[in-house]
């Protein structure tokens, strides 16, 4: 039994009607002036579109696509290779690569064609930490004359670019509170380098000297290492504030994008040490990803963060605390990502604390974004920046009264935050 | 590939196809009925204008590049005197225009060669038509017949343009 595969139909390009119109005009002139010369011009013009449609592939060409991304920090290198089926010249493939709006750099990639393969390389950069999706390039077969085209069949998934401050990867060593009570605690079956003694195994090159069991090594005549039951380091909730602020939708969107990237970086760091991580995005209502660990949880969190968006309404902050209490266990350490752009933005913290959640606030500062958008004269701009910094410092100080609050103004560095979380200090008054 | 911000402002000129088009158009302008060499000047200026539009990598201007060449070709053939040489020249100018189209500077080099399978059927048809005109007795009646045949061809092409899926052949898998 044969199954018909749906194909993208042949499309005429705008040049085709132009040629046909010129051919028709030649025909009309020929008849009007009783002159066969225009007929001879019209003949190639009228036949070329039909020849173009007939010469090309009769169905959608299945093009093999291989995409990859490279780069660290702000650098994003997007590369791809397109291999057409036999009989189709790679130079007839028209590849359109879209640069996501959150990335900067030359929007037109470098192309390199040979008869059998087409390649491209785009060098972009992320001005701020970002999670963004790279839409797979569209591939179209177009005849050399540019008269007809046919969309190619490709099977590629969108790639996700995640860029966040590298210091976040160090944060996983933080000891978090467990929210699972000890009598009913389910011990991890995994083995690793911490926790209770599990057994002895052959040493691996990457094992540190402290893990080598030297007595057993001496007895066995080969290097042996201790292995331990892996401890669960604890649980953490990452909570994003997706409510609107007086900064306006554009600035809110950029700050929220930075917060999403930081949230993914935090979850990556804690998931890498087997901690359980939960996610909450509080806009009009709370959208949550329950506590879990492992690769699947990473994908769940990434998917939720990709789909998270700002809301246009500002719900009561108590709704957030009530919803968090329903979705997550009591006593969970919560990292709240909020811009604290106005005084009312800090209102989540007291409600969360009253519900029994220790809170740390990480606040991406709006000042670097606003500094670039100002139209004031230089002196006025300096004065405005100074006032804005004072107001921001005052707001952070007020937020500190409720919970430790870290002002994040250098978007590519979170060293202060990581140091604070790893070695928390009591803030001195004044 | 489409021109976009950040792309080079000017694209390279493909000299061979441009030369072929220029020679064909200028010679046709020379034999056309325009007085005082106006046909040559018109042909030359229109080809230069089309080349200018084509090498400017701005999408809007770029897509209008074939219009001046097509206009001048139609005008020149409409005023050209009847003659076997002129007819052949008009057909060759049409083919030269197709070769020039295939040598698009915004696409990988070698377009003219890759476009030969598309240019070949019109060239073959042109050869047959010109041979028929040369060796068969001609007059007003054959001209009418040719016009009717062309009208039929136009109707067929309009049908194809309206239903391009006629040219599709969907793949099947078992």
B108 touches A at CB < 8 Å:
yes
Q: What CA–CA distance (Å, rounded) separates A162 from A126?
A: 10
pLDDT grade, residue A31 (50/70/90)?
Answer: confident
Nearest CA in chain B to A31: B147
Contact flag A18-B67 (C-beta cutoff 8 Å): yes
Q: What CA–CA distance (Å, rounded) separates A429 from B123?
A: 90
For residue B173, list chain A residues with Cβ-Cβ distance below 8 A.
2-3, 5
Same domain, residue pair A367 and A285:
yes
Residue A34 phi/psi, 5-degree rounding, is 50, 50
pLDDT grade, residue B69 (50/70/90)?
Answer: very high
- Number of A–B residue contacts, CB under 8 Å: 222
Same domain, residue pair A127 and A70:
yes
pLDDT grade, residue A274 (50/70/90)?
Answer: confident
Nearest CA in chain A to B102: A145
Nearest residue, CB atoms, B74 vs list A11, A26, A48: A26
A73: left (phi over 0), alpha (psi -120 to 50) or beta: left
Contact flag B108-A113 (C-beta cutoff 8 Å): yes
Q: Does A335 fall in a domain?
A: yes
Q: What would the pLDDT profile of A318-332 be if each residue is shown by its tens digit?
A: 899 999 999 998 888
For residue B157, list chain A residues with Cβ-Cβ distance below 8 A.
20, 46, 49-50
Q: Does A179 fall in a domain?
A: no
Same domain, residue pair A94 and A221:
no
* Extended beta strands in A178-234, E state: 191-202, 224-229
Same domain, residue pair A324 and A216:
no
Distance from CA of A119 to the nearest CA of B (A): 12
Residue A131 tokens, joined: 């999670």
Whether B172 has a pLDDT exceeding 70, the answer reads no
Q: Which of A67-81, A188-202, B62-76, B117-131 has the lowest mean pLDDT?
A: A188-202
Same domain, residue pair A278 and A322:
yes
**pLDDT (mean) for B30-59:** 87
Same domain, residue pair A48 and A93:
no
Residue A233 phi/psi, 5-degree rounding, is -80, -20
E strand or H helix that includes residue A93:
strand A93-96
pLDDT grade, residue A211 (50/70/90)?
Answer: confident
* Extended beta strands in A90-223, E state: 93-96, 104-105, 110-113, 118-125, 130-134, 138-142, 148-151, 159-163, 191-202
Nearest CA in chain A to B171: A5
Nearest residue, CB atoms, B95 vs list A11, A44, A107: A44
Domain CATH for A153: 2.60.40
B58 touches A at CB < 8 Å:
no
Displacement of CA B123 from its chain's centroid (Å): 11
Q: Does A181 fall in a domain?
A: no
Q: In what order do the strands lie in the sheet with A148-151?
A: A11-12, A148-151, A138-142, A93-96
Whether A430 has a pLDDT exceeding 80, the answer reads no
Distance from CA of B72 to the nearest CA of A (A): 10
Q: What would the pLDDT profile of A307-359 be if each residue is shown by its tens digit?
A: 899 998 888 888 999 999 999 988 888 999 998 888 777 788 999 999 889 89
Residue whose tokens read 């990639």: A109
Q: Does A325 fall in a domain?
A: yes
Nearest residue, CB atoms, A9 vs list B81, B101, B168: B168
Displacement of CA A45 from its chain's centroid (Å): 49
DSSP state of A142: E
Give me the pLDDT at residue A73, please.
Answer: 82
pLDDT grade, residue A278 (50/70/90)?
Answer: very high
Give me the pLDDT at residue B67, please.
Answer: 93
Q: Domain limits at A287?
A: 235-422
**Strand bridging mode A110-113 / A118-125:** antiparallel
Q: For an interface test with A, which of B90, B93, B101, B141 has the most A Cβ atoms less than 10 Å from its Cβ?
A: B90
Give me the pLDDT at residue A337, please.
Answer: 93
Grouping H, G, I as helix, E, B as strand and the rest as coil, residue A205 is coil
Contact flag B98-A48 (C-beta cutoff 8 Å): yes
B50 touches A at CB < 8 Å:
no
Last residue of a domain, one of A229, A244, A279: A229
Nearest residue, CB atoms, A47 vs list B86, B125, B172: B125
Q: Which of A52-61, A118-127, A230-239, A318-327 has the lowest mean pLDDT?
A: A230-239
Give me the pLDDT at residue A383, please.
Answer: 87
Q: What CA–CA distance (Å, rounded) separates A163 from A131?
A: 6
Grouping H, G, I as helix, E, B as strand and the rest as coil, residue A229 is strand
Domain residue ranges of chain B, discontinuous segments joined by +: 15-135, 138-166
Same domain, residue pair A193 and A261:
no
| Listed ranges A75-84, A159-168, A201-210, A371-380; the one with the highest mean pLDDT | A75-84
Same domain, residue pair A90 and A194:
no
pLDDT grade, residue A181 (50/70/90)?
Answer: very low
DSSP state of A136: P
Q: What CA–CA distance (Å, rounded) separates A375 from A147?
A: 48
Burial (CB < 10 A; 0-12, 13-18, 19+), residue A144, is buried
B149 touches A at CB < 8 Å:
no
Q: What would the pLDDT profile of A155-178 be if each residue is shown by its tens digit?
A: 888 888 888 888 887 776 666 665
Give me the pLDDT at residue A78, please.
Answer: 92
Give me the pLDDT at residue A250, please.
Answer: 87
B37: left (phi over 0), alpha (psi -120 to 50) or beta: left
Helix and strand element counts for chain A (H, E): 10, 20
Give me the pLDDT at residue A124, please.
Answer: 93
Grouping H, G, I as helix, E, B as strand and the rest as coil, residue A159 is strand
CA-to-CA separations, B138 to A190, B122, B132, in angstroms, rounded:
94, 22, 9
Whether B163 has a pLDDT exceeding 90, the answer reads no
- Looking at chain A, how many residues does it have? 430
ipTM here:
0.83
Grouping H, G, I as helix, E, B as strand and the rest as coil, residue A371 is helix
Tell me what the pLDDT averaged over chain A comes to.
84
B59 touches A at CB < 8 Å:
no
Nearest CA in chain B to A29: B78
Q: What CA–CA distance (Å, rounded) separates B42 from B50?
A: 12
Q: Which of A192-196, A382-386, B123-127 has the lowest mean pLDDT?
A: A192-196
Give me the pLDDT at residue B68, please.
Answer: 94
Q: Which residues pair with B56 in a beta bridge?
A: B10
Nearest residue, CB atoms, B74 vs list A38, A51, A89: A38
For residue B73, list chain A residues with Cβ-Cβ distance below 8 A.
22, 41
Helices (H), B10-139: 15-31, 38-55, 59-62, 66-79, 84-102, 111-114, 116-135
Give me the pLDDT at residue A179, please.
Answer: 58
Give me the pLDDT at residue A4, please.
Answer: 47
Q: What CA–CA distance (Å, rounded) separates B81 from A35?
A: 8
Q: What CA–CA distance (Å, rounded) separates A328 from A181?
A: 14
Helices (H), A285-423: 295-307, 317-327, 348-354, 367-372, 378-400, 415-422
pTM above 0.80, yes or no: no
Same domain, residue pair A371 and A301:
yes
Same domain, residue pair A280 and A198:
no
Contact flag A107-B63 (C-beta cutoff 8 Å): no
Q: What CA–CA distance (Å, rounded) separates A140 from A181?
A: 59
Distance from CA of B20 to the nearest CA of A (A): 16
Q: What CA–CA distance (Å, rounded) separates A115 from A369?
A: 47
pLDDT grade, residue A428 (50/70/90)?
Answer: very low
* Closest alpha carbon to B157 in A56, A22, A29, A32: A22
Contact flag A53-B2 (C-beta cutoff 8 Å): no
**pLDDT (mean) for B45-64:** 84
Whether A65 has a pLDDT exceeding 70, the answer reads yes
For residue A148, list chain B residues with Cβ-Cβ distance below 8 A.
164
For residue A108, list chain B residues with Cβ-Cβ distance below 8 A.
1, 3-4, 6-7
Contact flag B77-A38 (C-beta cutoff 8 Å): yes
Q: Does A47 fall in a domain?
A: yes
**pLDDT (mean) for A231-237:** 72
Same domain, residue pair A278 and A407:
yes
**pLDDT (mean) for A11-39:** 89
Asked whether the beta carbons of A19 and A147 are under 8 A apart, the reply is yes
**pLDDT (mean) for A15-43:** 89
Give me the pLDDT at residue A2, please.
Answer: 42
Contact flag A40-B2 (C-beta cutoff 8 Å): no
Q: Does A74 fall in a domain?
A: yes
Same domain, residue pair A134 and A23:
no
Q: What would the pLDDT profile of A105-161 be if each residue is shown by its tens digit?
A: 888 888 888 878 999 999 999 988 988 888 889 999 999 999 999 899 888 888 888
Whether B2 has a pLDDT exceeding 70, the answer reads no
Asked whether the beta carbons of A124 and A99 are under 8 A apart, the reply is yes
Structurally, chain A folds into a number of domains equal to: 4
Q: Which residues pair with A80 in a beta bridge?
A: A67, A120
Nearest residue, CB atoms, B122 vs list A4, A7, A43: A43
Q: What CA–CA distance (Å, rounded) separates B102 from B118?
A: 9
B52 touches A at CB < 8 Å:
no
Last residue of a domain, one of A162, A180, A212: A162
A294: left (phi over 0), alpha (psi -120 to 50) or beta: left
Q: What CA–CA distance (Å, rounded) separates A274 from A418?
A: 18
**Strand bridging mode A333-337 / A359-364:** parallel
Nearest residue, CB atoms, A41 vs list B73, B112, B123: B73
Q: Does A5 fall in a domain?
A: no
Whether A22 has a pLDDT exceeding 50, the answer reads yes
**CB within 8 Å of A210: residues ≥ 6 apart:** none
Q: For an interface test with A, which of B157, B158, B159, B173 has the most A Cβ atoms less than 10 Å from its Cβ?
A: B157
**pLDDT (mean) for B85-93:** 91
């Amino acid at each position: 039994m044969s199954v018909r595969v749906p194909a993208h139909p042949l499309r005429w390009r705008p040049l085709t009607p132009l040629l046909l119109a010129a051919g028709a005009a030649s025909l009309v002139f020929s008849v009007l002036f009783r002159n066969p010369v225009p007929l001879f011009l019209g003949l190639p013009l009228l036949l070329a579109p039909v020849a173009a449609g007939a010469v090309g592939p009769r169905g959608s060409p299945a093009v093999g696509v291989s995409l990859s991304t490279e780069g660290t920090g702000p650098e994003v290198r997007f590369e791809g290779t397109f291999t057409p089926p036999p009989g189709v010249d790679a130079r007839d493939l028209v590849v359109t690569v879209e640069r996501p709006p959150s990335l900067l750099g030359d929007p037109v990639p470098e192309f390199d064609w040979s008869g059998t393969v087409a390649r491209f390389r785009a060098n972009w950069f992320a001005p701020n930490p970002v999670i963004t999706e790279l839409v797979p390039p569209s591939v179209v077969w177009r005849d050399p004359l540019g008269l007809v085209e046919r969309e190619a069949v490709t099977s590629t998934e969108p790639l996700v670019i995640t860029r966040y401050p590298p210091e976040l990867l160090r944060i996983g060593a933080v000891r978090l509170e467990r929210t699972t009570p000890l009598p009913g605690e389910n011990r991890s079956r995994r083995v690793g380098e911490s926790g209770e003694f599990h057994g002895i195994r052959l040493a691996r090159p990457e094992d540190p000297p402290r893990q080598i069991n030297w007595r057993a090594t001496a007895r066995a005549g080969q290097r042996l290492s201790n292995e331990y039951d892996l401890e669960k380091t604890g649980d953490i909730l990452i909570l994003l504030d997706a409510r609107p602020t007086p900064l306006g939708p554009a600035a809110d969107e950029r700050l929220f994008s930075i917060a999403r990237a930081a949230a993914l970086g935090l979850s990556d760091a804690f998931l890498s040490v087997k901690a359980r991580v939960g996610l909450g995005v509080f806009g009009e209502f709370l959208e949550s990803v329950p506590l879990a660990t492992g690769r699947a949880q990473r994908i769940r969190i990434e998917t939720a963060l990709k789909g998270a968006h700002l809301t246009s309404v500002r719900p009561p902050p108590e709704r957030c605390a009530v919803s968090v209490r329903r979705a997550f266990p009591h006593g969970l350490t919560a990292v709240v990502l909020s811009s604290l752009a106005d005084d009312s933005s800090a209102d989540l913290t007291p409600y969360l604390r009253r519900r029994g959640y220790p809170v740390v606030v990480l606040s991406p500062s709006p000042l670097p974004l606003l500094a670039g958008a100002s139209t004031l004269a230089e002196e006025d701009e300096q004065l405005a920046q100074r006032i804005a910094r004072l107001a921001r410092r005052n707001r952070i100080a007020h937020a500190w009264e409720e919970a430790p609050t870290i002002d994040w103004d250098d978007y590519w560095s979170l060293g202060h935050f990581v140091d604070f979380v790893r070695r928390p200090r009591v803030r001195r008054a004044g | 590939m489409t021109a976009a911000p950040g792309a080079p402002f000017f694209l390279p000129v493909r000299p061979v196809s441009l030369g072929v088009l220029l020679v064909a158009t200028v010679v046709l302008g020379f034999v056309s009925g325009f007085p005082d060499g106006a046909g040559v000047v018109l042909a030359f200026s229109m080809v230069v204008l089309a080349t200018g539009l084509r090498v400017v990598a701005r999408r809007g201007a770029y897509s209008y590049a074939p219009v001046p060449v097509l206009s001048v070709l139609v005008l020149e053939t409409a005023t050209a005197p009847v003659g076997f040489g002129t007819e052949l020249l008009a057909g060759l100018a049409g083919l030269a225009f197709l070769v020039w189209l295939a040598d698009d500077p915004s696409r990988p080099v070698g377009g003219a060669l890759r476009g030969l399978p598309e240019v070949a059927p019109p060239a073959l048809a042109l050869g047959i038509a010109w041979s028929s005109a040369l060796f068969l007795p001609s007059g007003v009646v054959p001209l009418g017949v040719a016009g009717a045949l062309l009208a039929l061809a136009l109707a067929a092409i309009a049908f194809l343009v309206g239903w391009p899926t006629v040219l599709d052949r969907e793949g099947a898998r078992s």
